Chains A and B, each alone.
Chain A
Amino acid sequence: MLTLECPCCGVKAEETELQAGGEAHLKRYGPGSSDEEFDGYMFSRKNPRGVHFERWRHAYGCGKWFLAARCTATLEVFGTYPAQSKEPPAELQAKIKAKRPGWEGWK
Chain B
Amino acid sequence: MSKAVSALEGVSHNGFVAVAEAGLRGMITLRGDLASAKMKKAVKAATGTAVPARRRIELNGDKAAAWMSPDELLILVPYADAVATVAALEAALAGEHHLAADVSDARAVFTVKGARAQEALMKLCPVDFNTLAEGEIRRTRAAQVACAFWKSAEDEFTLVSFRSVAGYVMGLLDVSARPGSELFPA
Interface residues of A (CB under 8 A from B): 8-12, 14, 16-17, 60-64
Interface of A is mostly: loop
Are A17 and B69 neighbours in the complex by a CB distance under 8 Å? no
On chain B, the residues within 8 Å of A11 by CB distance are 55, 138-139
Identify the closest chain A residue to B126 (Cβ): A14
- Write out, one digit per residue, whether chain B residues 40-79 have a CB within 8 A of any chain A CB (1) or not (0): 0000000000000011000000000000111010000000
Chain B residue contacts of A64, Cβ below 8 A: 69-70
CB <8 Å contact, A60 and B141: yes
Jot down 29 A-B pairs with beta carbons below 8 A, ordered by A: A8-B69, A8-B70, A9-B55, A9-B69, A9-B70, A9-B139, A10-B54, A10-B55, A11-B55, A11-B138, A11-B139, A12-B128, A14-B126, A16-B126, A16-B141, A17-B126, A17-B140, A60-B140, A60-B141, A60-B146, A61-B139, A61-B140, A62-B68, A62-B70, A62-B72, A62-B139, A63-B68, A63-B72, A64-B69
- CA of A14 to CA of B128 in the docked complex: distance in angstroms? 11
Q: B55, B69, B146 — which one has the most chain A CB atoms within 10 A of its CB?
A: B69
B141 to chain A, nearest CB (A): 4
Chain B: how many interface residues by the 8 Å CB criterion? 13
Q: CA separation between A64 and B72, bound complex, in Å?
A: 11
Q: Which of A8, A10, A11, A63 has the most CB of B within 10 A?
A: A11
CA distance A62 to B139 in the complex (A): 7
Q: Which residue of A lies closest to B55 (CB)?
A: A9
CA of A11 to CA of B56, assembled, Å: 12
CA distance A54 to B3 in the complex (A): 49
Known: A10-B55, A14-B126, A16-B126. A63 touches B69 (CB 8 A): yes
Chain B residues with CB under 8 A of A16: 126, 141
20 extra interchain contacts, Cβ-Cβ under 8 A, other than A61-B139, A64-B70?
Answer: A8-B69, A9-B54, A9-B55, A9-B69, A10-B54, A10-B55, A11-B139, A14-B126, A16-B126, A17-B140, A17-B141, A60-B139, A60-B141, A62-B68, A62-B69, A62-B70, A62-B72, A62-B139, A63-B68, A63-B69
